[in-house]
Amino acid sequence: MGIDPNFDANRENVGEENGVAVWGPVDPPEKLGIHGTHVAVDYDICVADGACLENCPVDVFTWVDTPDHPESERKVEPTREDQCIDCMLCVDICPVDAIDVDASRA
């Protein structure tokens, strides 16, 4: 099961990390929530294969460390989500459907 496209209605905004909104629940290191709003990454299912980071034409993503998370020790943070051009390449290329892009959430 991929990211909940209605996370902004179904989850609580619990703060920010690296200037990016975080949507709960969060209980590190196992539960890290969804990071981002316009470009959202579900950290709890992201496997950090890096395809989104390597292929994004406007470099929305950066690596962040997530020590002891059961899926991967690092994740992609949508630190420059305001630069997103809504091409949906990251959504299409993610092998676990951990990313959702919706300009109406910007």
Binding-site entries? 35, 46, 52, 56, 84, 87, 90, 94
Annotated binding site for Zn(2+): 35
* Cα 17 → chain centroid: 12
Tokens matching residue 81: 């989500």
Annotated binding site for [4Fe-4S] cluster: 56, 84, 87, 90
Report d(CA 76, CA 14) in Å as an integer: 19
64 contact partners, CB below 8 Å, separation of at least 6? 17, 18, 74, 75, 76, 77
Annotated binding site for [3Fe-4S] cluster: 46, 52, 94
